[in-house]
Amino acid sequence: MTGTKTGTKTGSKTSAETRTDAGARTGTLLAGGIVAGPLFLVASLIQGLTREGFDFTRNAFSQLSLGGLGWIQVIVFLLTGLLAIAGAIGMRRVLRGAPGGVWAPRLVGVFGASFVLAGVFTADPGDGFPAGTPKGSSGSVSAHGAVHLGGATVGFLALCAAFLVLATYFADRGQRGWALASRLVPVGVLAGSSASSVSVLAFTAGAALGLLWLSAVTVRLRATTPPTQHTPQR
């Protein structure tokens, strides 16, 4: 009798700890999605302020991958992409069985993959950067530059679609403010992208909006994960 009861309690405790550990791992994955955007923006801002020839009104953050210190931005791109992919895996766990639970994580994963691609295929020089590059557009796009631009376009379109899918999740839970914002943010991101030929700052602002909103919704989703504390032993 005693052995049976002890075994039952031990088995129950192990099951509870397993669930707790799974929740902790999910929270860690979601943390990747939270820090991805701020990491990219802060690292890019610091480099933009310190690297010779970079002008926020003419040059995109992608061009920081060029020049002697370009390896720093390449690493930033790769880390940002991998963290976003980790966040997507965490989202899949949290949203399993919920509205948007299938496509939102997949689309965020595509967005993360686009950053990894951008780290491998760099942008073209132009508008005075790297230092010594003539100002103005060269009028031609290299093969790696085309892959970079194409990947970025697909990535941000996927992110916008992910926000729209997440809007259905928030609406289903009665979180109308989050649902509304998740529908409006894609408008701002796409508006900034559309204005990129006229203003690099508009493109940068639109991209930053998307990155920061990804952090915001991931924080919100992380709040729905189980607590990570173990059940007190008696």
Match 């289903």 to its residue by tokens.
172
Three-state SS for 196?
coil
pTM: 0.85
Query: Tokens representing 7?
Result: 């075994």
Q: Where are the alpha helices (H) located in the chain, listed in sequence order? A: 2-50, 70-94, 103-120, 143-172, 176-194, 200-222
Q: Per-residue DSSP letters for 96-121?
A: TTSTTTTHHHHHHHHHHHHHHHHHHS
Q: Centre a 10 Å sphere on the Cβ of residue 170 and count the other Cβ atoms it contains.
A: 22
Q: Where are the alpha helices (H) located in 51-102, listed in sequence order? A: 70-94
At residue 107 the predicted structure's pLDDT band, cuts being 50, 70 and 90, is very high
DSSP state of 49: H
Query: Which residues, including other chains, have CB under 8 Å from residue 209's CB and lie 6 or more apart?
Result: 185, 188, 189, 192
Give the Cα separation of 139 and 128 in Å (integer).
14
Three-state SS for 11?
helix
Angle between helices 143-172 and 103-120 (to 10 degrees): 160
Ranking 101-110, 131-140, 154-163 by mean pLDDT, the lowest is 131-140
For the segment 50-73, the average pLDDT, to the nearest whole number, is 94
Nearest to 85 by CA among 226, 214, 221: 214
Q: Could you report the per-residue pLDDT of 8-45, keeping only the tens digit for each? A: 444 555 655 565 666 678 889 999 999 999 999 999 99
**Phi and psi at residue 138, in whole multiples of 5°?**
-75, -20
For the segment 202-210, the average pLDDT, to the nearest whole number, is 95
- Bridge partners of 205, per DSSP, are none
For the segment 173-181, the average pLDDT, to the nearest whole number, is 95
